[in-house]
Chain A
Amino acid sequence: SQTIHQWPATLVQPVGSPLSLECTVEGTSNPNLYWYRQAAGRGLQLLFYSVGIGQISSEVPQNLSASRPQDRQFILSSKKLLLSDSGFYLCAWSALGQGVYQPQHFGDGTRLSIL
């Protein structure tokens, strides 16, 4: 069966520090991968998605970036964190659609607090 792992679960970082959140998927090949952010009391906002290694689409311009160095690995990064980067970050994956919708499966999330 497929599983998605996301870490760390909780992270406290000072303003201006770098960030690296990692997400890996097991049990499937060539998944679509997604990074979402959930601000307090709000819905999820798609930040990035990837349909293959090295292929990243950005939905919201900001000081975050994403990379996909391996087929089942998706990394969210920042060189300098801002206070506004605080939130709950969720990674998700879906199988290739091939004309049929494939549901997204979410990880457990990372709560990021910027001090």
Chain B
Amino acid sequence: AQTVTQSQPEMSVQEAETVTLSCTYDTSESDYYLFWYKQPPSRQMILVIRQEAYKQQNATENRFSVNFQKAAKSFSLKISDSQLGDAAMYFCAYSIQGAQKLVFGQGTRLTINP
């Protein structure tokens, strides 16, 4: 069974600094997708960034980038120039290509200190 593990229940960072959130996953599949979702206090789930496993190039979306290490089954999220609005729960998630479901990690609560 596929599992997603986020080993950092909580993280904090000073505003304008950079923070990295960790995620590891376990799968025997070769084609899959990885995601980072953000859940602010409003509880809405917002897709931050996604990575296709067949792509070697790390995905980037403005201040958000990932470090995808397929052999190590690691998928970390880097947030540069942290802003107060980045404060939220961040969930790493996995989906097999062609499958209908997302498997989520336990989440990391990110606090931004002004």
A27 to chain B: which residues have CB within 8 Å?
A: none
Q: How many residues of B contact A (CB 8 A)?
A: 24
- Contacts A108-B42, A108-B43, A109-B44; is A49 near B106 (CB within 8 Å)? no
Residues 44 to 94 of chain A near chain B (Cβ within 8 Å)? 44-46, 49, 51, 57, 59, 88, 90, 92, 94
Find chain A residues with CB under 8 A from B46 CB: 106
- Among A34, A42, A45, A101, chain B packs the most CB atoms within 10 A around the CB of A101
A44-B91 CB under 8 A given contacts A90-B45, A109-B43: yes
Give the residue of B97, B101, B107 whose beta carbon is less than 8 angstroms from that of A42: B107
Query: Does B47 sit within 8 A of A, measured CB to CB?
Result: yes
A43-B91, A97-B98 as given contacts; A103 in contact with B104, CB under 8 Å: no
A51–B101 Cα distance when bound, in Å, is 11
Instruction: Give a binary string over B70-111; 1 marks a CB under 8 Å from any A CB, 0 the rest.
Output: 000000000000000000000101010110111111110000
State the total of A-B contacts with C-beta under 8 angstroms.
53
Cα–Cα, bound, A44→B4 (Å): 11
Known: A43-B91, A57-B100, A59-B101. A106 touches B107 (CB 8 A): no
**Which chain A residue lies CB-closest to B4?**
A43
C-beta contact mask, B46-62 vs A, less than 8 Å → 1, else 0?
A: 11001010000000000
Task: Determine whether A104 belongs to the interface, using a CB cutoff of 8 Å to chain B.
Answer: yes
Q: Report whether A43 and B105 are in contact in the complex, using a CB–CB cutoff of 8 Å.
A: yes
Q: Smallest Cβ distance from A60 to chain B, in angstroms? A: 11
Q: Is B64 an interface residue (CB 8 A)?
A: no
Query: In the complex the two chains form, is B101's CB within 8 Å of A46's CB?
Result: yes
Nearest CB in chain B: distance from A54 CB, A: 16
Across-interface contacts of A111 in B (CB, < 8 A): 43
Least CB distance from A32 to B in Å reads 6
Chain A interface residues (CB < 8 Å from chain B)? 32, 34, 41-46, 49, 51, 57, 59, 88, 90, 92, 94, 97, 99, 101, 103-104, 106-109, 111
